[in-house]
Amino acid sequence: MVIRVRDHVQRCQSWSDGDVIGQQIKRVLAARERAVVSFDGVGDVPSSFVNAAFVSLLDDYSFDFIKRHVSVVDSTSQINSLIKRRLSSEAERHLLTA
Amino acid sequence: MPAVVVPVPYIFNAKTMYELIAGVVAEEFVPRADRVVFDLSRLRFIDTGCVTIFANLVEWLLRRGVEVEFAGCDPRRKAISYMDDCLFFKTYAGSCLTETAAPRVTTMPFRSVLYRESHDWLENRFTPWLAGVLDVPAASLRDLRSCIRELFNNIDDHSTEQVGCMHVQWFPNNGNIGISLSDFGVGIPAEMARAHRFADDGEALLLAAQDGVSSKRGGRNRGAGLALLIDNVVGRSSGAVRIYSLHGQLTCSPDGGAISRNAVTVPGVYPGTLVNITLPAERIEIVEDEREDLEW
């Protein structure tokens, strides 16, 4: 299932914007489908957006599961590197506190 | 309450700003008078970042019903002329000092930006202006723009005013871009005190700049914003980040391949937070608007 970010939020600026996308991803994963998140038309995002949209998935899924079931397409190097950095960092923290 | 006349320092920079602020903001973070006259007759040099501070200070007073006036504004002095070209007097005194005053090609004059307007302002004003000045594709500024977004999100999270004053200056002589963003919220140390213990305001800033340290217990934003800003600007681009908040100052600068973080606590107080970014333009990677898929 493709989730085109711009179909759901006007901008990718805040935690609330990211939460809208996070809920969409969780809905798709709960239906046992693969989530394909498209950043078509988006150039950059801040960490708050990534935290809400992607890092919050760690509350329910492992990092490995996320890597296997969530794809990010039509994106930019800024967005991709921030998603990887934030997820890696928080997944490590989850392991340490588990 | 009688009017107070506040002399603007001979050199107005980050060191001398405290005396100006102390002249108008009392210890309890309330205005010292109902009417303030800023006397600029001594002013000979103003740091570009201090235009932001001055503008934000005036905004702070106006929002509290204080009448603000300016004296000693001789446009023949370069510092005054620069402020006039930044449209400072047009904004706060009703008109420019001279008919020829206009923003310089290398300056994006201070502007108060509401948080809710910051996305559009960054996309439609900041990016086209800076890309044009530096003659780089707009896509090259994504990393820098995301850093500014982090700061606006901090303002939204931590400031009661939800407005930031931003000023951007391109220095062709040394190749640096200077960006100042200031708010008059409660300040980072006050926010940090809700969830952490620290010895002084300098240590609070040092703590706030660490990855994963949030001012809120279990905070949604997870305390990544300032760390990302410092990594991007200092670690990857050899620039500098200076943060002033309440009695704390934090200077982050390149140190070999590492990042030097120098925190101090000063007697003066900055009511809110000021972030000064210096970025060497040559370190901005030129990229076209190419799309890519994430590879885990």
Give which of A53, A83, A41, A13 is closest to B139, Cα–Cα: A41
Q: Nearest-CA residue of chain B relative to A68?
A: B296
Decide if B10 contacts B43 (C-beta within 8 A): yes
CB contact under 8 A, B225 and A74: no
Amino acid, single-letter form, for residue A67: K
Sheet hosting strand B258-280, strand order edge to edge = B107-114, B163-171, B176-183, B258-280, B240-255
Cα separation, B40 vs B230, in Å, equals 35
Cα separation, B56 vs B95, in Å, equals 18
A18-47 pLDDT per residue, tens? 999 999 999 999 999 999 999 999 999 999
Global confidence as pTM: 0.91
Amino acid, single-letter form, for residue B9: P
Interface test with A, best of B126, B146, B221, B236 (most A CBs within 10 A): B146
CB contact under 8 A, A78 and B296: no
Q: Which helix H or strand E contains B82, and what residues bound it? A: helix B78-85
Low-confidence spans in chain B with pLDDT less than 50: 217-218
Cα separation, B82 vs B75, in Å, equals 9
Place of tokens 């333009």: B281
SS3 for B247-270 is: EEEEEEEEECCEEEEEEEEEEEEE
ipTM of the complex: 0.91
CB contact under 8 A, B220 and A48: yes
Neighbouring CB atoms inside 10 A of B46's CB total 24
Contacts of A91 (CB under 8 A, 6+ apart): A58, A62, A63
A58-90 pLDDT per residue, tens? 999 999 999 999 999 999 999 999 999 999 988
CB contact under 8 A, B221 and A86: no
Q: What is the nearest CA distance from A60 to chain B, expressed in angstroms? A: 16
B141-157 pLDDT per residue, tens? 999 999 999 999 888 87
CB contact under 8 A, B292 and A80: yes
Which chain A residues contact residue B119 at CB under 8 A? 11, 13
The CB-side HSE value for A39 (13 A sphere, CA atoms) comes to: 26
Q: Quote the pLDDT of residue B215.
A: 61
Cα separation, B153 vs B98, in Å, equals 37
Which chain A residues contact residue B118 at CB under 8 A? 13
Q: Quote the pLDDT of residue A50.
A: 96
Among the partner-chain residues A11, A47, A84, the one whose CB lies closest to the CB of B119 is A11
Interface test with B, best of A14, A87, A88 (most B CBs within 10 A): A14
CA Rg value for chain B: 19
CB contact under 8 A, B153 and A82: no
Q: Quote the pLDDT of residue A94.
A: 74
Length of chain B: 296
Q: Is A7 helix (H, G, I), strand (E, B) or coil?
A: helix
